[in-house]
A and B are shown apart, each in its own frame.
Chain A
Amino acid sequence: MPRIVVCFKWVIDEAYIRTGASQELDLENVDYKLSDYDRNAIEEAVRLKEEYGGSLVGITVGVPEATKGIKDALSRGPEKAYFINDASFDNLEPSQTATILADVVSSQIEYDLIICGEGSSDLYAQQVGPRLAEKLGIPCISYVQKLGIENGEIIAERKMEEGVEVVAAPMPALVTVVPDINSPRVPGLKDTLMASKKPVISITKDQLSQTYEPCLQTAGILAASMERNCVKFGGELEGIAGFVESLLKEGVIS
């Protein structure tokens, strides 16, 4: 019976992000949410537990205020959560997140399978899953759209550009899932109310075995802007020639 760990991230809900006057992101009035693909990860973990039995715990790294995120995740099925938190954990880069997770997972959690979302709704760097597997020294299967366990092995369907690849890996292993894998169920009211009663193991920065320095520097974040302009051409020969010329100039055709 697999002991499953599911990783989740509490992120800014992009629907609330506004663009400031000089293209900077205005995060003044944002709300937060469970990262989209992590919902699929949790759902898949719950589904596996329903099918094969075993246990399921959640784990996240974030700022101490992210308690609503913990409840949200717990309302979707995990029995308990590990909450590694520090005020400085508000802008971790993927390598730090993966290393911190590995630190806690390897020292405190017994597991057979770790499930992550393919990427987070905010950065979508797709780094944490594979890096975490690497740190733990276990196999990693990414882009998983179907997951099962047979004879103690993970069997996974990977969604590749050119087709579907079916692979197997011994446990313990880590998989990262794509949204095609399932349609997360909506937690019931009682699940939400029960979530506050589930155990949360809070782990602070000083309980980690070392500090983790970033290896990236963020120079700035600006909203992407798309310049639109409208040029009208007539249907006569001259107009069409002008149209082709413009397309050439803009590099649309060559």
Chain B
Amino acid sequence: MDFKLTEEQELVRQNMREFTEKYVDPIAAEIDENSRYPAEVIEKLAEGGWLGMPFPQEYGGAGTDYLTYIIAVEEMSRSCASTGFTMSLHIGLVSGAIYNFGNEDQKKKFLVPMAKGQYMGAFAFTEPGAGTDVSAATSTAVLDGDEYVINGTKTFTSNGPVADIYVAFAWTDKSKGRKGMSAFIVPKGTPGLRVGEHFKKMGLRSSQTSEMIFKDCRVPKENLLGEEGQGLQIAMDSFDHGRIGIAAQAVGITQAALDESISYSKQRVQFGKPIARQQAIQWMIADMGTDLSAARFLTYHAAWLKDQGKPFSKEASMAKLFAAEMAAKHTSKAVQIHGGYGFCKGFKVERLMRDAKFTEIGEGTSEAQRMVIAGNLLR
């Protein structure tokens, strides 16, 4: 067993920290407040080669292992969970789907510019009536000559308003059940594709979320991702990957909560001494640090399994479940440690607490993770 990161992994963490200190920390509160997409940061990430980290160089990536990429998402999320999520969504979920299931032409045409950060991706899976219950989806795709005609409404599409490439899911033959859904690559500007209502969210505010409406939206047959009927498999595989990213996001958030709690509790004086000298506060910090370490180990382990080419679906769900619940619990404790000030805008813990809640919902709720894990354990 070896718990040591490589020098490269450590340096990548350090460089991402340098990056966030310079470009993200100064604007994180503002983009949250204004629900603004930080295009300038995304551009800088693209320039630095961060948006295609785990993909081979021939596809425009940097060819790192998955763990290195996960560390970068964690470090970004420590500064800004919205931007950390944008990275994880674009890289792990969307580009990953094209890398893992796309054919050579699709990889050249779509993955290369995505890995270079010239195109941003979005994943249009959830529907108003179909969240956890995937089978309730109603979007359809019908082959008409050389084109698929997609109809339906997707919701909660992150990057919806800003993406260049959408990976969208629709039934090609609902009667085939789990083998009846297919995935399509839909470029922005395709006639019949419209960005719907933007959401006003409690957290993850600078990540742009919207409905996506497909009305007789025609995409060429070549844009079918994988095979007809493979859609659900593609979605589930992508979520397995994406969940390691959300786990890393949650770890980054909890690390930030711990950093803030330590520094605040050492300097806030009540009853003539810093509150950090009160056992009640010390215990909160001890628990926070312990759960953070456990969450980080689960997350790195899932990434490591992926790097070893071993199955990681259960571990990804475990990491996501635990890291998310710990983030939600401990950001709330961090606000507690900050007292009334933590309840106000201007203290980072207030944003952390709102952002943490997302990690228990996105890419499968905690309940959905428990279903996956139990399904695996009881098989």
Contact = CB atoms under 8 A, between A and B. Distances in A.
Contacts of B49: 188-190
Given A72-B14, A75-B15, A189 B7 contact: no
Contacts of A190: 48-49, 62
Given A75-B15, A193-B64, A186 B48 contact: yes
A189 B50 contact: yes
B12 interface: yes
Interface string B8-20: 1011101100110
B180 interface: no
B8 A189 contact: no
Contacts of A192: 8, 11-12, 15
Given A193-B62, A193-B63, A193-B64, A186 B7 contact: no
Contacts, number: 49
Nearest to A193: B62
What DSSP secondary structure best describes chain B's contact surface?
A: helix
Given A71-B8, A71-B11, A75-B11, A186 B62 contact: no
Max chain B CB contacts within 10 Å: which of A68, A188, A192, A195? Answer: A192
B11 A68 contact: yes
Given A186-B48, A188-B47, A193 B15 contact: no
B53 interface: yes
Chain B interface size range: 20 to 34
Among A67, A71, A75, A186, find the residue whose CB has the most chain B CB atoms closer than 10 A: A186
B307 to A, nearest CB: 16
Contacts of B11: 68, 71-72, 75, 192, 195
Contacts of B18: 186-187
Interface string A188-232: 111011011000000000000000000000000000000000000
Interface in B1-29: 7-8, 10-12, 14-15, 18-19, 22-23
Interface string A68-97: 100110010000000000000000000000
B26 to A, nearest CB: 13
A71 B64 CA distance: 16
Contacts of B64: 189, 193
Contacts of B63: 193
Contacts of A186: 15, 18-19, 22-23, 48
A189 B10 contact: no
A189 B8 CA distance: 10
Give the interface residue-count category, chain A.
Answer: 10 to 19
Contacts of A33: 14
Interface centre among B7, B10, B18, B50 (most CB of A within 10 A): B7
Contacts of B19: 186
Interface in A28-75: 33, 67-68, 71-72, 75
Contacts of B47: 188
Contacts of A75: 11, 15
A203 B221 CA distance: 61
Interface in A171-197: 186-190, 192-193, 195-196
B15 A187 contact: yes
Give the interface centre of B11, B18, B22 by most chain A CB atoms within 10 Å: B11
Contact of A71 (B7, B22, B48, B50): B7
Nearest to B22: A186
Contacts of B62: 189-190, 193
A69 to B, nearest CB: 10
Contact of A193 (B8, B14, B22): B8
A193 B49 CA distance: 11
A72 B53 CA distance: 19
A196 B53 contact: no
A33 B15 CA distance: 11
Nearest to B50: A189
A216 B224 CA distance: 73
9 contacts: A68-B10, A186-B22, A186-B48, A189-B15, A189-B48, A189-B64, A190-B49, A193-B8, A193-B64
Interface of A: 33, 67-68, 71-72, 75, 186-190, 192-193, 195-196
Top-7 shortest CB links A-B: A188-B48, A189-B49, A190-B49, A68-B7, A186-B18, A186-B19, A188-B49
